[in-house]
């Protein structure tokens, strides 16, 4: 279950950045891997998602959100879940892997 306690709340200004996101109308399939996806297929999908993030005008805000809320899945702000976990530090990364 996702821990929503770190989410910023319902205030509109907390989410305004998402309206300018390059991924806004692309659907989640490009950014979240399907169950069992591994190896080259996953790497290819992740790299394609990162190319979209690379030109996104709100990439920094997206990554900040994902790190602050400990977003456990998908590519956010140009980083995969594994790359974000590495930024959280060893204790957080180990805990995230054990619950995933």
* Structure confidence at residue 47 as a pLDDT band (50, 70, 90): very high
Helix, coil or strand: residue 27: coil
76: which strand partners?
Answer: 79
Maximum Cα–Cα distance across the chain = 40
* Structure confidence at residue 85 as a pLDDT band (50, 70, 90): very high
Q: Write down the pTM of the prediction.
A: 0.75
How far is Cα 98 from Cα 51, in angstroms, rounded to an integer? 29
Q: Which of 31, 41, 96 is nearest to 63 (CA)?
A: 31
Sign of CA dihedral 4, 88, 40, 45: positive
């Amino acid at each position: 279950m996702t821990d929503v306690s770190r989410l910023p709340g319902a205030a509109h200004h907390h989410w305004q950045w998402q309206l300018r996101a390059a991924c806004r109308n692309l659907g989640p399939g490009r950014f979240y891997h399907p169950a069992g996806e591994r190896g080259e297929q996953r790497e290819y999908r992740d790299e394609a998602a990162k190319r979209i993030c690379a030109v996104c005008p709100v990439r920094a805000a997206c990554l900040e959100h994902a790190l602050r809320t400990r977003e456990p899945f998908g590519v956010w702000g140009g980083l995969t879940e594994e790359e974000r976990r590495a930024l959280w530090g060893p204790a957080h990364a180990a805990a995230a892997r054990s619950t995933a």
